[in-house]
């Protein structure tokens, strides 16, 4: 799951070296991913009206469901 989010984020931003993802298991079946990108790239990851972020969350939910887990994606400022 981490690799998937990292792949998408690196292809969306201008500075892929600034992409950082922290993974925390909040419970037995829940994984929380925190995505941090450069200050100039936050808007690119979120997209207009949050549509890019929502699409990433939808795909992440599908991948997590295949593994029997629940995933939460947080985009940090």
* pLDDT level of residue 9 (50, 70, 90 thresholds): very high
Residue 76, Cα to own-chain centre: how many angstroms? 10
Q: What is the pLDDT of residue 77?
A: 79
The residue ranking higher by pLDDT, 51 or 77, is: 51
Residue bearing tokens 């925190």? 34
**CATH number of the domain within which 49 lies:** 3.30.300.20
Domain count, the chain: 1
Domain hosting 32: range is 2-76
Q: What is the pTM of this model?
A: 0.88
What is the 3-state secondary structure of 49-70?
A: HHHHHHHHHHHHHHHHHHCCCE
- Express each pLDDT in 19-65 by its tens digit: 999 999 988 899 999 999 999 999 999 999 999 999 999 999 999 99
Report yes or no: 17 and 6 within 8 Å, Cβ to Cβ.
no
């Amino acid at each position: 799951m981490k690799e998937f989010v990292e792949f998408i984020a690196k292809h969306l931003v201008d500075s892929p070296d600034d992409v950082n993802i922290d993974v925390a298991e909040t419970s037995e079946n829940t994984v929380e991913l925190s995505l941090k990108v450069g200050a100039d790239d936050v808007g690119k990851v979120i997209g207009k009206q949050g549509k890019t972020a929502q699409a990433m969350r939808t795909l992440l939910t599908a991948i997590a469901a295949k593994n029997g887990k629940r995933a939460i994606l947080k985009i940090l400022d």
